[in-house]
Amino acid sequence: NNLLKVCNALGIFKYSSDQRSLGFASNAQSEIIGDRASAMVRPEPCDLIVTKQNAQDVEYEAWEKDHPSALRSFEGMMSIAKGKKIIMFLDYDGTLSPIVDDPELAFMSDTMRSAVREVARNCPTAIISGRSRDKVYEFVQLNDVYYAGSHGMDIMAPPRRHKSGDTKYQRRAVDKKGNEVIIFQPAQEFLPEILEIFNELEEETKVIEGVTVEDNRFCVSVHFRRAKQEDYSLVEKKVLSVLGRHSRFHLTRGRKVLEIRPSIKWNKGNALEYLLETLGFAESSDVLPIYIGDDVTDEDAFKVIQKRGQGFPILVSRKPKVTMASYSLQDPSEVLSFLLRLARWRRN
């Protein structure tokens, strides 16, 4: 039945009862046999054959109707944004840089860096990543954006008091340009145990080829993209064995990565809200946040924007996914195109 649906969507059907190929129907290929009209489609070398890729394309097109391309929807989105203050939030891996086998080599292009710089000149811009804040800065190398690492558990924000008045998680510091900033770290108490977890994971996984353990300061990632597929279950077993010794932590899953994080009520959505507040836009009705991200941890930020009822959550994905995002982009190259158009729109 699913194949028939795909065929119907593509305009494809079987051309005879004893042949297995599928092709486009055309009037020129219809023949009159005797007194009866029998539409028989003869295969041509260029006829489309239904493949797994064709089916995936059809599935993506159907999904895209509910999550339209932010590039094709750009003019409509900007008509809504007109007269509002745009605040840009960006994930890093898979959004500003491609997903690569070695996480240490996830460099963004100079063109992407220039695009982010141009956007940041006209719109307050923050990068919210699962990486450590220092690592994200090392990759991005821009001083005009705010950085939130460890899924928002390590935020560099403007020097503005958080409305809760709780200052035990924050301290004043100076950024690379000499400007005063606030460093907000709600998981400080977990740092000694996070170091223990990092060391244990390195010890447990060192026998598995292709596994990399990354210290993200307030969480620990185990990357297994370069590991053999038959070792995936062993990687998970090793990670779970370490997790079992640390009751205050939990496991999250990403794209070929397992992560052990402190069990606190703080995520990328909370980080987005914190940054909006420290930027002075928490209660503003004329602010329009845009968040672009590609992974499951970005869904928390998408939910916050949906709850606010203002803003554009954009998922980066080549595959249909269950998501709270309203719009989509297929890959970092489309993210680049979107940022360049946004920068040009803001200048004009």
* Distance of alpha carbon 288 from alpha carbon 89, whole angstroms: 11
* Distance of alpha carbon 136 from alpha carbon 129, whole angstroms: 7
Selected catalytic residue, list 47, 66, 91, 286 = 91
* Distance of alpha carbon 144 from alpha carbon 164, whole angstroms: 26
Residue 215 appears among annotated catalytic residues: no
Residues 6+ apart with CB under 8 A from 202: 213
Q: Is 332 exposed, middle or buried (0-12, 13-18, 19+ CB in 10 A)?
A: buried
Question: How many Cβ atoms from other residues are within 10 Å of residue 53's Cβ?
Answer: 8
How many residues comprise the chain? 348
Residue 183 backbone phi and psi in degrees, to 5: -105, 120
Question: How many Cβ atoms from other residues are within 10 Å of residue 206's Cβ?
Answer: 11
**Which residues are tagged catalytic?**
91
